[in-house]
Every structure is written in structure tokens, then in C-alpha cells.
Amino acid sequence: MLDAFFQYELLRNTFYTGLLVGLIAPLLGAFIVVRRQSMIADGLSHVTLAGLAFGLFMQKKYTLLMFAPFHTGILFSIIGALIIENLRDVYKAFQEIAIPIILSVGVGLSIVFIALADGINTDIYTYLFGSIAAISSSDLRLIIFISLLVIIFIFVCYKDLFALSFDSEFAIVSGVKSKTLNFVFILMTALVISASIRIVGVLLVSALMTLPVATGMRIAKSFKQTIFYSIIYGEIAVIVGLITGYYFEIPPGGTIVITSALLLGLTLLFNKLKAVRSLKKDDGYAA
Amino acid sequence: MSDPIVTVQNVYHRYDQQTVLENINFNIEEGAFVGLVGPNGSGKTTLIKLMLGIEKLQRGNITAFGQPIQKFKNKGRISYVSQKANSFSRGFPATVKEVVSMGVIHNQRRFLPDQKKDQGLVKSALQKVNMEEYINRNIGDLSGGQQQRVFIARAIANNPKLLILDEPTVGVDSQNVEQFYDLLSKLNQELGITLVLVSHDIGAITTYVTDLLCLNRSIHYHGNPNEFESLTDEQRSILYGHQINTITHNH
Ligand SMILES: Nc1ncnc2c1ncn2[C@@H]1O[C@H](COP(=O)(O)OP(=O)(O)O)[C@@H](O)[C@H]1O
Ligand SMILES: [Mg+2]
């Protein structure tokens, strides 16, 4: 069944990208979920869309081919991350407000660039919902680079990041450089989002970062286990989603997220059954 | 007598237009068990955040271990149980071991995986608070009182000289509060950790502390808790800055 994927280079690239994204999105997502920052992913993905649309517009209107949408998307995402950090500083008392601001500006810019680039076309469609066949070898190399960067970052800063996520004040007293770490973290988030969009699309990128984590948290006993299970769930969703998407000609964003949601539902159901069963067991002893 | 480990001189602090601390002066001597009390909003959390260097000092001087707070490198000497610690743990997928391990990250080897020595520190900290059998449990599955013990273990894991606790008994049910204060006394007397205990419940802590500080924007009383207890209700209410109920303490 996987034959088709490995026959064509572009499909193969997509598959590899999927595997990488299935790893780094839940890896960062685990921290995003426990820090209650899921909305940041949504905000940044819409800014990335503006970047993609901007690249498309430059290419179409001015045939400036150096503005590859993938690259302008990354650029916008990073700028969005910088602005969010800045706004959070300005609005100390209500930091959540940074997200709706950045999200709406992202959507606004997207609409403008899409219209200027002559309206909705297939490119925009793939940005929104993800796509199977769109990844060149040079894009794949960039995604591999991003993945390595993220994995090294988490590996090196794991303890500090974990402490900061759990109790920022204690972490600061312990000498964690919270400002720097928060800054690098949001930059990494921006990179992961712009890489993941290739596969799942703008609308569902935050789902890939959070759904597997929501599932992993249900069965994990520790934070390390949460990360581990989240990645397993993320990979299952990506692999199943890409293959079914390919065979049924559905954008993979939809199939990946539906798979994720099914995994979550099954896990919750399984937990319920387990709880009911252990209750029954207790009754048995009492009788 | 040795030098005080913390000195606070002429400290003022304001947020926007509101002055929350005014002309604060006191020292913390090594080995003391200081009770910092005052009603809600009296500036207790702000004061300890200044002492910890979390909040930037605006006016006055604070020194810790002989160094100005602005230049002070903590290196694990001052530790902290924040007022918020409790709310963070709800639903957070972490084991007791993972939580206490955060207490040893200031060691140089922070970027490497856990080492034997760190694991030893984590275990012995849990023993000191009688929670060693919970080491692999999920923090969210524990009661409020048990969670608070875990946070103490985290705070003492690296053997600090001074431990500051901000309203640690919020969320601990009343039967366990006494046990909790006993634990603090033990840390103070047996391990020699200097303690600052922040509370808005003045009655319960006066029997445990060696120094009492009553704060309500400025310091209204600083001294021996027994002398404070011997005052009339009315005098004490004025010093505390709020009505004191002597008979019941069941918050
Ligand atoms: N970051 C802040 N920004 C503005 N006002 C604050 C801030 N933190 C505390 N305050 C205000 O300062 C006063 C003292 O607060 P706090 O130090 O938390 O008192 P306590 O811990 O004794 O309850 C309160 O009126 C509070 O609303
Ligand atoms: Mg307070």
C-alpha cells in the first residue's frame, strides 16, 4: 500500500515531512498545552498564511520567484512570534490579548494578498487544508533542518523549559532565564508551524500540536511519558492520515485531524471502560 | 551575632498610581522563623518578590547574604514556594519525582540528563517531608496538603539557607494545617533553614514563629509573637490592620 509513496520522489518527500512533523509538532505541543498557550499556535498559523499569500502574490504579480511562499511563510511566522512576545510585554496584565490581535491581522493580510494575487486558487486551497504532493527536495532539507533545531532545543533546555512551564516564578528564582527561553520557544513554535502547514494546512496546524497531546496526557503518568505518547499518537495520525488522504483524494489536513480525534475518542472510551471495570472489581471484593 | 542574611531598608513600591509598600525596614537573622502577616492586598507577596528579585526594586535597599539584591546570584541559597504553586499542578501531567527534580536545576549540570547525585537529592528531600512513598505518583492525584509537601520538598532539595513560603496553607484542609506547621518547625530547628512564612491567618502561626512582622502597606509590628499575643484584641487589630478573630481559625 505504501508503494505509491515511495515510487514518486515528491510523495516520498511528503511522507518524510509527515514523519518529521508528526514528531516535532506534538513535541513542542506538549509544552504548549501545559502552558495553556494553544491559541498561540492558531495565531501564528494565520500569520503564516499571510506570509504564504504574500509569496504567492509576489510570484504571480511580479514573477519574483525568489519569494517562495514556503520561505515567506516562515518569515512571517517568525515576525508574528516576535510581535506576540512584544505585545505580551506591553499588555502584561492580560497577555492573551496578543493572540486575537495577531490572528486577526494575519487573516486580514491574507485576504488582501490573496485578492491581489487574483483570488482563491489551488495553491491557497492547499495552504488551508494541507496537501500530499507539494514538497521539493530543497523544502524537505529545510524541514529536516528545522526539525533538528527543535529537537536539539528541547533536548538541551528540557529541564529549564519544564520548570518554566510548571511554575515560572520558582523557575526564575532557580536561575532559569525565562525571557530568553520564552523567546526561543516561541521562535521554535513559529518554525514548527510553518513546517507543519505543508502537511496539515493553516486551519489545522494547531490541532496537530494539541490533539495528540490531549490524548497522550490521558494515559501518561509523567511529563516525559506525555511527550512520548503524544509523539506516538502524532505519528499514527500523520501516517494514517496521509495514506487515506492519498487514496481517497482528500487533503491530508482533514484525514490527519480526524484520525487524531478518533484516537482521542478511543483513548477516552478505553479509560472509561477501565475505570468502570475497576469499580466493578471493588464491588466484587465488597460483596 | 552573625550578620543578618537579608536586610530591607527604606523600601517603597508602587504599581501604576498605587503605593503598596511604604518605608519598609527589617532584617532577617540566620535561623529565624519569621511570620509575615497582613490582610489580603497588604503587600506581602510584593515584598517577598522584591526580596527574591522577581519584582524589580524601585526605591530603597535590599541585601541578601551581604550583596545588593540587584547583583545577588542566588545559586540555590534562597528558595521559594510561590502562592501560585498549587494552581499550576492541577491537571499538569507530572510525577512527584519530576516536580521535585525542578528543585535541583540550578546545579551546573542542568543541560545534562539526571545524575545520580540529583536523584539522591530528590529522594532525601521527599524523605524530609515524609512523601517518599509518593515519588512515582501523579502530582494532580494528591491532596492539597500532600501537594504542598511536595512543593516544600522541591524547594529544599538543593539545601537552601533561606526558604520563603507565600501562603502555603491555602488549599490545605484545616486538620492538616497543624501538621504542616510542625513540618516547617522541623525544617527550621533540625535542618537550620531560615524561614519566612507569609500568611493572612495571624492566629495560627504565632505559636510557631520566632519573629512576627505585621504588614499593611507599612510595617505595623515587628517583634516577638508572645508579646503580640499578650496585647488586647483591639491593639492587635490595629497592628494587624484588620479585625482579628481570636476564637476561630477555621479557614
Ligand atoms: N503586578 C501588579 N500590578 C498591579 N498591581 C498589583 C500587582 N501585584 C499586586 N498588585 C496590587 O498590589 C497590592 C498588594 O498586592 P500583594 O502584594 O499581592 O498583596 P498580598 O500578597 O498581601 O495579598 C494589591 O492591591 C494588588 O492588587
Ligand atoms: Mg499574596
Q: What is the DSSP letter of B154?
A: H
Which candidate, B185, B41, B48, places its Cα nearest to that of A170? B48
C-alpha cell at B186: 522541623
Per-residue pLDDT, B108: 56
What distance in Å separates residue A195's CA from the closest CA in chain B? Answer: 27
**Binary contact (B105, A160; C-beta < 8 A):** yes
Per-residue pLDDT, B113: 62
Pick the residue from chain B with its C-alpha nearest to A160. B105
Which candidate, B85, B136, B109, places its Cα nearest to that of A158? B109
| DSSP string of chain A, one letter each residue | --HHHHHSHHHHHHHHHHHHHHHHHHHHHHHHHHTT-HHHHHHHHHHHHHHHHHHHHHHHHH--TT--HHHHHHHHHHHHHHHHHHHHHHTGGGGGGHHHHHHHHHHHHHHHHHHHTTS--HHHHHHHH--SS---HHHHHHHHHHHHHHHHHHHHHHHHHHHHHH-HHHHHHTT--HHHHHHHHHHHHHHHHHHHHHHH-GGGHHHHHHHHHHHHHHH-SSHHHHHHHHHHHHHHHHHHHHHHHHHHT--HHHHHHHHHHHHHHHHHHHHHHHHHHHHHHHHHHH-
C-alpha cell at A56: 504567492
Is A172 inside any structural domain? yes
Give A19 or A130, the one with higher predicted confidence.
Answer: A19
Per-residue pLDDT, B112: 62
Question: Which of chain A's residues have a Cβ under 8 Å away from the Cβ of B110?
Answer: 159-160
Report whether pLDDT(B78) > 80.
yes
Q: Could you tell me the CATH number of the domain that includes residue A186? A: 1.10.3470.10
Per-residue pLDDT, B85: 65
Is A49 inside any structural domain? yes
Is A260 inside any structural domain? no
**Binary contact (A166, B95; C-beta < 8 A):** no
Is any Cβ of chain B less than 8 angstroms from the Cβ of A225? yes
> Measured in angstroms, how far is the CA atom of residue A114 from the centroid of ligand 2?
50
Per-residue pLDDT, A275: 85
Compute the distance between CA of residue A98 and CA of residue A86 in angstroms, rounded to an integer.
9
Q: What is the DSSP letter of B218?
A: E
Pocket probe mutation, ligand 1, options B11, B45, B240, max atoms within 8 Å of Cβ: B45
Contact A267, A277 (CB under 8 A): no
Is any Cβ of chain A less than 8 angstroms from the Cβ of B142? no
Is any Cβ of chain B less than 8 angstroms from the Cβ of A82? no
pLDDT band for A37, please (50, 70, 90 cuts): confident
Ligand 1 cavity residues, CB under 6 Å: B 15, 20, 38, 40-46
Parallel/antiparallel/unpaired status of strands B59-64 and B67-68:
antiparallel
Compute the distance between CA of residue B33 and CA of residue B14 in angstroms, rounded to an integer.
28
B102 closest CB neighbour out of A163, A220, A224: A163
**Binary contact (A167, B84; C-beta < 8 A):** yes
> Measured in angstroms, how far is the CA atom of residue A218 from the centroid of ligand 2?
33
Q: What is the DSSP letter of B198?
A: E
Report whether pLDDT(B208) > 60.
yes
Ligand closest to B55 (CA) is 1
Is A110 inside any structural domain? yes
Q: Give me the mean pLDDT over the B213-235 stretch.
A: 79
Which candidate, B176, B186, B178, B199, places its Cα nearest to that of B156? B186
At position B117, the amino acid (one-letter code) is K
**Binary contact (B84, A34; C-beta < 8 A):** no
Compute the distance between CA of residue B84 and CA of residue B167 in angstroms, rounded to an integer.
9
What distance in Å separates residue B220's CA from the closest CA in chain A? Answer: 28
Query: Which residues sit opposite B35 in a β-bridge?
Result: B197, B212
Per-residue pLDDT, B116: 77
Report whether pLDDT(B141) > 60.
yes
Compute the distance between CA of residue A6 and CA of residue A35 in angstroms, rounded to an integer.
39
**Binary contact (B78, A173; C-beta < 8 A):** yes
Which candidate, B115, B155, B107, B149, places its Cα nearest to that of B132? B149
What distance in Å separates residue B112's CA from the closest CA in chain A? Answer: 7
Best residue in B104, B105, B122 to probe A by mutation, most A CBs within 10 Å?
Answer: B105
Contact A130, A198 (CB under 8 A): yes
Is any Cβ of chain B less than 8 angstroms from the Cβ of A163? yes
Per-residue pLDDT, B242: 60
pLDDT tens digits, residue range B43-65?
A: 999 999 999 998 999 999 999 99
Compute the distance between CA of residue B230 and CA of residue A138 in angstroms, rounded to an integer.
80
pLDDT band for B247, please (50, 70, 90 cuts): very low
Report whether pLDDT(B32) > 50.
yes
Is A136 inside any structural domain? yes
Is any Cβ of chain B less than 8 angstroms from the Cβ of A226? yes
| DSSP string of B32-82, one letter each residue | -EEEEE--TTSSHHHHHHHHHTSSPP-EEEEEETTEETTT---TTSEEEE-
Parallel/antiparallel/unpaired status of strands B162-166 and B78-81:
parallel
Per-residue pLDDT, B246: 47
Of chain A, the percentage scoring pLDDT greater than 90 comes to: 57
Pick the residue from chain B with its C-alpha nearest to A214. B93
pLDDT tens digits, residue range B155-198?
A: 999 899 999 999 988 878 878 888 889 999 999 999 999 999 99
Per-residue pLDDT, B92: 86
Contact A230, A29 (CB under 8 A): yes
What distance in Å separates residue B105's CA from the closest CA in chain A? Answer: 7
Report whether pLDDT(A71) > 50.
yes
Of chain B, the percentage scoring pLDDT greater than 90 comes to: 52
Interior angle at CA A283, CA A282 and CA A285, nearest 5: 65
The domain of A185 spans: 3-206
Q: How far is CA A226 from CA A31, A153, A219, A235, B158, in A?
A: 10, 18, 8, 14, 26
Q: What is the DSSP letter of B158?
A: T
> Measured in angstroms, how far is the CA atom of residue B25 from the centroid of ligand 1?
19
Is A256 inside any structural domain? no
Phi, psi angle pair for A145, to nearest 5°: -60, -45
Catalogue all structural domains in chain B, each as residue range(s) with its CATH number.
6-88+160-240 (3.40.50.300)
Compute the distance between CA of residue A258 and CA of residue A273 in angstroms, rounded to an integer.
22
Mean pLDDT, chain B, as a whole number?
85
Best residue in A166, A168, A213 to probe B by mutation, most B CBs within 10 Å?
Answer: A166
Which candidate, A2, A6, A21, places its Cα nearest to that of A199? A21
Can you tell me whether residue B167 is helix, strand or coil?
A: coil
**Binary contact (B103, A173; C-beta < 8 A):** no
Interior angle at CA A45, CA A77 and CA A50, nearest 5: 65
CB pairs under 8 A between A and B: 80
What distance in Å separates residue A204's CA from the closest CA in chain B? Answer: 24
Mean pLDDT, chain A, as a whole number?
88
Q: Give me the mean pLDDT over the B91-110 stretch.
A: 83
Domain count, chain A: 1
C-alpha cell at B70: 540587584
Which candidate, B162, B198, B4, B149, places its Cα nearest to that of B75? B162
Is any Cβ of chain A less than 8 angstroms from the Cβ of B84? yes
Give B223 or B85, the one with higher predicted confidence.
Answer: B223
Report whether pLDDT(A287) > 90.
no
Q: ipTM of this model?
A: 0.87
Is A277 inside any structural domain? no
pLDDT tens digits, residue range A192-222?
A: 999 999 889 998 999 999 999 999 999 999 9
